[in-house]
Amino acid sequence: MKIGIPRGLLYYYYFPLWKTFYENLGFKIILSPETNKSILDLGVKTCVDEACLPVKVFHGHVEYLKDKVDFLFIPRHTSLSYGEFTCPKLCGLPEMIINSITKLPKVIKPDFNLHGKNINIDKTIKEMIEPLNINIKQARLAFFNGLEQIRIHKEKVFKEFHFKYHSKRLLVLSHPYTLYDSFINMNLLKKLENMGYLVITIDNIEDIKINYYAGKLPKKMFWTFGRQLIGSGLYGIAEKEKIGIDGIIYLSSFACGLDSIIADYIERQIRRRNNIPFIQLIIDEHTGEAGLNTRIEAFTEMMERRKLYDSNFSSYGKCIYRS
């Protein structure tokens, strides 16, 4: 039997768990292809206009898979950490899909909810196997094997980064489903790498640092990704000399309510300290790659000039050229 997993949203974090779980139980995983223009067009046609770009893209991946599999795996991520929540669209994703796309196969829609003190993992596991006639003990073992694969993957990413040395570094802040989908971000990470920059993301920063700086907020940030983004941004601002970053890029999707708050807060903190170049790139399905390239090139050129001349820029039109 084939289980389809759309290559979007939290696929970029939790796919090792889902893949290990269902393959251990004897099912074949069918992934949609990497995001492309036709998948984006399918998503734009079926999704509500008010949704952000990654949610529209997810709809396109579902539309692509629906006639090729026996089941669709569309989890509800209510909470990823104690006392916190995810974006409302992630909480209501299964209902969005079911009410927007017709002729769907059976949808497996487990609820991942770590908000409370008494977490019922067995409930989530039962929801993952509900239509599949699988023994709960076997499923529980497969689930914990999947969790171990996530731990191994995160550890590998963290270690590989910390063995690298580079004189030019940029902190890029974004949600994983925007940051790691090269079609959505128009190959931003590869472009920066080709310009000679080592890119630092929230996945390369220790949790203890993220939580320490996020804890400086007057109130607890109750969005998980919001806490990670603010903690990483404040860490970059406070310890920029130690980690050696030249600037911060905030990559945001148009219509993301969370980003409209977080990006503005980080920019205000930078302006108060006046200590690091910052740019926010906002993308949607209409964003042209040429315009994005121009902004990146202008930003990196500005950073290089600032390194050479510090803040000695005339505000009266006098040009400064490199020798």
Question: Quick one: pLDDT at residue 316?
Answer: 47
| pLDDT tens digits, one per residue of 311-320 | 555 544 455 5
The Cα–Cα gap between 85 and 107 comes to 23
- Torsion angles phi and psi, residue 85, rounded to 5: -130, 170
The pLDDT value recorded for residue 294 is 93
Residue pair 53/35 in contact (Cβ under 8 Å)? The answer is: no
pLDDT value at residue 241: 85
Q: What is the CA radius of gyration of the chain?
A: 21
The conformational region for residue 80 under phi > 0 = left, psi -120 to 50 = alpha, else beta, is: alpha
**Tens-place pLDDT, residues 183-219:** 999 999 999 999 999 999 998 898 999 999 999 988 8
- What burial letters (b/e) apply to 98-137, b meaning 16+ CB within 10 Å? eebbeebbebbbbbbbbeeeeeeeeebbebbbeebebeee
Q: Give DSSP secondary structure letters for 245-277.
A: --EEEEEEETT-HHHHHHHHHHHHHHHHHT-S-
- pLDDT at residue 164 tops 70: no
The better pLDDT of the pair 170, 286 is held by 170
Q: Which of 214, 212, 210 is nearest to 202 (CA)?
A: 210
Place of tokens 């779980």: 21
Can you read off the two tokens belonging to residue 308?
A: 């050479």
Which residues, at least 6 apart from 223, have a Cβ–Cβ distance to it below 8 Å?
84, 85, 86, 87, 258
Which of 12, 21, 308, 291 minimizes the C-alpha distance to 146? 21
Among 137-141, 235-239, 242-246, name the one with the lowest average pLDDT: 242-246
- What whole-number distance in Å separates Cα of residue 280 and Cα of residue 291? 13
Residue 57 has pLDDT above 70, yes or no: yes
pLDDT at 35: 95
Say whether pLDDT at 3 is over 50.
yes
Domains of the chain, each with CATH number or no CATH? 2-156 (3.40.50), 166-309 (3.40.50.11900)
SS3 34: coil
Residue with tokens 């202008």: 298
Q: Is 110 helix (H, G, I), strand (E, B) or coil?
A: coil
What pLDDT band is residue 323 in, cutting at 50, 70 and 90? Answer: very low
pLDDT at position 284: 86
Q: Rounded distance, CA 277 to CA 300, Å?
A: 9
pLDDT of residue 311: 57
pLDDT for 15-43, tens place per residue?
999 999 999 999 999 999 999 999 999 99
pLDDT band at 79 (very low <50, low <70, confident <90, very high): confident
Q: Round to whole Å and give the CA distance between 145 and 156.
A: 17
In percent, the amount of the chain with pLDDT more than 70 equals: 93
As a whole number, mean pLDDT of residues 275-294 equals 88
- Give the 3-state secondary structure of residue 224: helix
